[in-house]
Structure 1
Amino acid sequence: MDTATHITMGVAVGGLATIDPAVQQDPALFQAVLIGAIVGSHAPDFDTLFKLKDNATYIRHHRGTSHSPIAVLLWSFLVSGAIYLFYHDVSYLHLWLWVLFAVFLHVFVDIFNAYGTQALKPFVNNWIAFGFISTFDPLIFILYVAGILAWLLGADPRYTFGIVFFIVFLYYIKRYLDKREIVKLMTEHFDDVEKVITQPTIRHNIWRLAIITKHHLYVARSENGHIEIKDEFERKPLPDTTEMNAALQDANVKAFISFSPVYRYEIDRYDDYTEIRFIDLRYRAKDRYPFVAVVTLDKFYNIITSYTGWVYSEDKLQKKLEPLT
């Protein structure tokens, strides 16, 4: 989820916490829980600071260890402990439990979008991304904001946010059924489907799709139940060559491959260097695939320069690779 939704969800958790008699009867505990729920609902995304180092570090670690079961516990203790320093007369147990719930809810809802998380790390290092809720879903955000406004206007937060969370729960079920129908259409259309990767958009009737079959990769778009194939690529394994093996040692390429479940590659050879480009097929927009990793090698297969990230024009990408020239 995006930052705004996580924060409004934290406020909703703080309001829902009033179902706890200890929170309802102690104004100081309520304040502490509300603050803790807001901070805790965003805490796992503090790993965004990795972006200050470089894109490779950010891509490799964002929503990784910071969203693991061990991290959920650590975040809950760190946030509740920091707040308890200022509210040391309240029940720490109740404060910690509600902060733990807020942190857990953050990680839990993140697994339903296309980006996903490594929510089971270190037990399972795979990315978990169910891909049926948009990173920013207007309806979910509006529901939380509506609940907050109703609370400010005097509505009982217990019932208000109980209803809000129940509607959100029903909405998740509806979106899951939408995805299941799309996957069913793809498996009926292609005989050898191995995986269908879905990426919902903020428009509920439009989905981006990447279909992996035995011999091909397809990029498609679903709108109002109508499937349109946008691109088709032959599925080719990475060649076991000196230049490819050299490229795979690059940190940017390693980060890209660890994160992307479906990509293709291009190799362009020039007089003085070779460029190898890895292209994620999930994020097609305006006939481009903006999420890439690019590495250039000299004649002796030494890495000259490389880049990974989201780039929406070829000119901007070439500027990222300017050290080559």
Structure 2
Amino acid sequence: MDTGTHLVMGFALGGLATLDPVVADNTLNSHSVLLATIIGSQIPDIDTFLKFRNNAVYIRNHRGATHSIPAVILWPLLITACAALFFPGTNLLHLWLWTFLAVFLHVFVDIFNAYGTQAVRPFSSKWVALGIINTFDPFIFIIHVIGLIIWAIGANPGITFIFIYAIVICYYLCRFAEQWAVKKAVLKIVPNAEKVIIAPTMRYFKWRIVAITDKRLFVAKANKREITILDEYDRVPIPENEVINRAKKDKNIAAFLSFSPIFRWELEELENGYEVRFIDLRYRSKGHYPFVAIVQMDEDLVIKGSYIGWIYNKDKLRKKLDVAPR
């Protein structure tokens, strides 16, 4: 989820914590728990600061170690220890329990995005991405804000957010049902699909789709379960040759390949070298595939420029590569 949604969820958990008598009957405990749930709802995304290094490091590590099983255990312990310094005398057990719930819930809801997390590390580095909730879901954000407003005007926060979360759970179940219906509709059009990747958008009935067969890649969209094929590509394995193998050693290309589950590749000979492109097929927007990784090499396979990230025009890409336009 996005930072804003995680934030309102942290406040919501602080309100929900008032159902705990140990928290509700003690001002010190309620204040410490509210602060801890807000911090706990944000702390796994501390790896966002990796953006300041470069995109490759960020993409390879975001929602990785900080969202892993050891992290879910360690973050609450760290937050509880720090909170205890500022709130001496607070009930540490209940502080830890509510902090743990905040951290766990952050990682748990991220699993439902198309981006996903490496939530089962260290047992597996596989990305877990169920793809039923957009990174920013207007309904989930707005219903939390409504709950906070109701709390602010004097309603019981515990009862308010029990009701809110019952609605959210129903919403998730509806999204699962909608995604399943979309998948069934896709399989009617591409019955031999080996795999169907369905990614949500901010609009409830609109989905991005990639269907994979043994020979073809189909990029499609769904609107109210009506499927429209947008692009088709041959499914061509990445070849084993000197140019491709050198490109795969570049940090940006390696980051892309570690993250993207479905893509197409292109190899182009330039006047004085080569350009290798990898294009993620999940994010088609207005006829364009913005998430890419590109590397340019000279004739001796020395890398002259590379980039991974979101690109919407060629001029910006050339600046990122720091090479002269062709």
TM-score, length-scaled by structure 2? 0.98
Which residue number in structure 2 is paired with residue 240 of structure 1? 240
SS at match of 2:86: coil
SS at match of 2:245: helix
Which residue number in structure 1 is paired with residue 126 of structure 2? 126
Which residue number in structure 1 is paired with residue 275 of structure 2? 275
Displacement of 1:136 after TM fit? 0.5
SS at match of 1:72: helix
The one-letter code matched in structure 2 to 1:194 is E
SS at match of 1:121: coil
SS at match of 2:249: coil
Which residue number in structure 2 is paired with residue 219 of structure 1? 219
CA displacement 1:138-166 (0-9 Å, x = unmatched)? 11001100110000111111110001111
How many Å separate the matches in 2 of 1:277 and 1:135?
26
Displacement of 1:284 after TM fit? 0.6
Which residue number in structure 2 is paired with residue 301 of structure 1? 301
CA displacement 1:42-71 (0-9 Å, x = unmatched)? 110010011110000000000011100101
Which residue number in structure 2 is paired with residue 24 of structure 1? 24
The one-letter code matched in structure 1 to 2:22 is A
Displacement of 1:73 after TM fit? 1.2
Displacement of 1:11 after TM fit? 0.5
Contact 1:304 1:324 in 2 (8 A): no
How many Å separate the matches in 2 of 1:242 and 1:253?
15
CA displacement 1:4-46 (0-9 Å, x = unmatched)? 0000001110000111110011111100000100110011001
The one-letter code matched in structure 2 to 1:101 is L
Contact 1:295 1:307 in 2 (8 A): yes
How many Å separate the matches in 2 of 1:324 and 1:298?
13
SS at match of 1:209: strand
SS at match of 1:75: helix
SS at match of 2:203: coil
Which residue number in structure 2 is paired with residue 316 of structure 1? 316
How many Å separate the matches in 1 of 2:74 and 2:270?
50
How many Å separate the matches in 1 of 2:187 and 2:123?
31
User: Between the two proteins, what is the percent identity of the paired residues?
Assistant: 48
Which residue number in structure 2 is paired with residue 256 of structure 1? 256
Which residue number in structure 2 is paired with residue 164 of structure 1? 164
Displacement of 1:324 after TM fit? 5.7
SS at match of 1:230: strand
The one-letter code matched in structure 2 to 1:196 is V
Contact 2:318 2:324 in 1 (8 A): no
Displacement of 1:188 after TM fit? 2.2
CA displacement 1:194-251 (0-9 Å, x = unmatched)? 1111111111111111111111111101012211111000000000001000000011
Displacement of 1:287 after TM fit? 0.9
**Matching of residues 1-325 of structure 1 within 5 Å:** 1-323=1-323
Query: What residue ranges of structure 1 are gaps of 5+ in the alignment?
Result: none
SS at match of 1:11: helix
The one-letter code matched in structure 2 to 1:111 is I
How many Å separate the matches in 2 of 1:232 and 1:139?
33
Displacement of 1:127 after TM fit? 0.4
- More deviation, 16-25/180-189: 180-189
- After superposing on structure 2, the runs of 4+ consecutive aligned residues of structure 1 that deviate more than 6 Å are none
Contact 2:264 2:279 in 1 (8 A): yes
SS at match of 1:147: helix
Displacement of 1:314 after TM fit? 1.3
SS at match of 1:39: helix
Query: What residue ranges of structure 2 are gaps of 5+ in the alignment?
Result: none
The one-letter code matched in structure 1 to 2:119 is A
How many Å separate the matches in 2 of 1:270 and 1:254?
22
How many Å separate the matches in 2 of 1:212 and 1:78?
44
Displacement of 1:185 after TM fit? 1.3
Contact 2:196 2:210 in 1 (8 A): yes
